[in-house]
Every structure is written in C-alpha cells, then in structure tokens.
Amino acid sequence: MADTDIDSAKDYQVDVPVRTEPFFLKGSNHLDWGIKNRLSQIFNPVSGRTVMLAFDHGYFLGPTSGLERIDLSIVPLTPYADTLMLTRGILRTLIPPSYAGGIVLRSSGGPSILKELSDEEIAISIDEVIRLNAAAMAVQVFVGGEHETKSIHNMTRLVDLGNRHGIATLGVTAVGRELVRDANYIRLATRICAELGATYVKTYYVEEDFDTVVAACPVPIVIAGGKKLPERDALELAFNAVEQGACGVDMGRNIFQSECPIAMIQAVRRVVHDNIRPQEAYEYFLELRDQNHSERS
Ligand code: R5P
C-alpha cells in the first residue's frame, strides 16, 4: 500500500544546515569521492598522516637485503603499516588479500640497477590497478635526469588515467647520483610533480629548509627513509619531517633492515601518529626489541 500518512512523523530538521566538511588532506578538497575514499585508506583521517611501508625495491634491485623472503620478513609487519608500497608481483604472490590498509602499486619500471635508471616506462595498465584494488599508483620522476621528460610524461599519463578512475597518483622524486639533494632541488622536483597533477609526492627529507619544500608544494608530501641509518637517527628523521609538515613517511630499508623490524615500525608509528619525540620513540623501540628477543629465546 502506498505510504501516504506518515509525513507528520518525519523530522527534516530544516533549521540544521547539511554538513559540508572539508577533506582532511592538503590540496585534495576538490577531488571526487572515490579518490578521497582511497586517500583515506592511505592517510589516517585522525592524524592526517601515514606510515607507508615501502618494499618495492626489487623492481630494479632484485632480492636486496631484508627482502630476500618477503613472506617471512615483511608480511608480519603489515598490520602496523597504514599502507603498503609494492609491486603487483609481490602483492599477488605474497600479500594476504585480507590486508585492509591502502595499496600503493609501483607503476613505473624497466631498467635494472645495471642500466640507466631514469629510462623507465609505465609498467602496469589501469585495468590491472583497478583489479588489484589499489588506492594509488607510484611513479618515479627524474627531474634533471637523462630521461626527465619521459619520466614526467609517465606521471602525467598515470594522473590522467587515475583521475578518470578515482585512483591517486604518487609522484616519487628520484634523485640521480649526479644531482645535489638540497632544498633547492627538492622544492623544484616536488613542485613540478604537484603542478603536473600528482595527488601526493614522495621525496627526501633535507636538513635545511625542509619546511619551505612543504610550503611550496600544494599537495601532501611523504618522505622516503633512504639508506639504513642507526634506529635513533631514522626516528629523528621521521620526527623532523613530520614536525616540518610532511604527512608521513614511506619507509623501507630503515624498517626492514633494522635489527628488529617489528619494533622499528611500531616506533615509527608513534612518531608519525602520536608526535612522540625521537628519544622516547627510541626507548620504545628498545623496549619492544628486548621483548621480541626474549619471546624468541
Ligand atoms: C625507491 O624508489 C623505492 O621506490 C623505495 O620505495 C623508496 O626508496 C623508499 O624506500 P627507502 O625508505 O628504503 O628509501
């Protein structure tokens, strides 16, 4: 029977304006619902930050130290990562599909460590990215590199495809050996990525003027960990970066090459999401490391 007599029971609360909340991530307010939802799988909407666990290194390095057996070394860390950054081969073969965080797929590649690294192509189709339910595609951008224009073109093509399907694009600024990694260079590279459409950018932390890198980039920045450092120093790097405006870390070797990766990723989390200071985070790391060692012995 038609519902004709219940209007009196309805309450439209006409005096309460419909809520229109800004999206929590810098530069992302005008994106569509789907891409914002995927960005919320990468960045924690409460802290506005992310701990991305990067272990895509094999796409040009092969089985590097700490990644010989991803099933044994990395899978146990995944519950502590907001997001995994990896290749489709490792995702499909080794990562449980029940993993609930964001997936950032390595989407460019080609040359190995034995060749000119900047000579990358797009290495995945958008159908495959959608099939794998990725939240973002990661693409290397070699500003100042031999194949600068091609790498930027790879990024802009992925941005076009990603925007069509509501998938974010992560521009990764790759610094060639011949280039100086300073604020001047990082400002240039990150700004170019943002101007040409990257949804967010991954770059390196620089000690001087990193806050100006963040200020000049209209989209979120996450920092790469880089070469393995002593744990205390890596925690300090993460702290300094987020304190100066980075929206988190995309950390690989400083986690999976740590003497205790499961303790290190948890300490990094406390820095990124709870703003704890490096010394406190280091003490937390030591406590978890010792617990872990005593459980194993
Ligand atoms: C490098 O291009 C790879 O994509 C890594 O994901 C990236 O360098 C982050 O890893 P790490 O913290 O080891 O530098």
Residue nearest to atom 14 of ligand 1 (CA): 226
pLDDT of residue 5: 59
Residue 216 C-alpha to ligand 1 middle, in angstroms?
A: 23
Q: Which of 67, 74, 172 to mutate to test the pocket of ligand 1 (most atoms within 8 A of CB)?
A: 172
Residue 83 C-alpha to ligand 1 middle, in angstroms?
A: 14
Predicted confidence (pLDDT) per residue in 97-119, tens digit: 999 999 999 999 988 899 888 88
Residue whose C-alpha is closest to residue 118's, from 155, 86, 84? 155
Residue 255 C-alpha to ligand 1 middle, in angstroms?
A: 11
The token pair at 3 is 């519902």
The sign of the torsion formed by the CA atoms of 145, 146, 150, 151 equals negative
pLDDT at residue 2 is higher than 60: no
Residue of 115, 202, 227, 228 with catalytic role = 202
The sign of the torsion formed by the CA atoms of 222, 227, 232, 233 equals negative
Question: In this structure, how many other beta carbons lie within 10 angstroms of the beta carbon of residue 288?
Answer: 17
Percent of the chain residues topping a pLDDT of 90: 87
Does the pTM of the predicted model rise above 0.75? yes
pLDDT of residue 117: 85
pLDDT of residue 1: 53
pLDDT of residue 188: 96
pLDDT of residue 281: 98
Place of tokens 């990644």: 67
The mean per-residue pLDDT over the stretch 11-26 comes to 94
Predicted confidence (pLDDT) per residue in 70-93, tens digit: 999 999 999 999 999 999 999 999
Assess whether the C-beta atom of 278 lies below 6 angstroms from ligand 1: no
**Is residue 264 within 8 Å of residue 238, measured between CB atoms?**
no
Question: Is residue 202 annotated as part of the catalytic site, yes or no?
Answer: yes
The fold of the 26-257 domain, in CATH, is TIM Barrel (3.20.20)
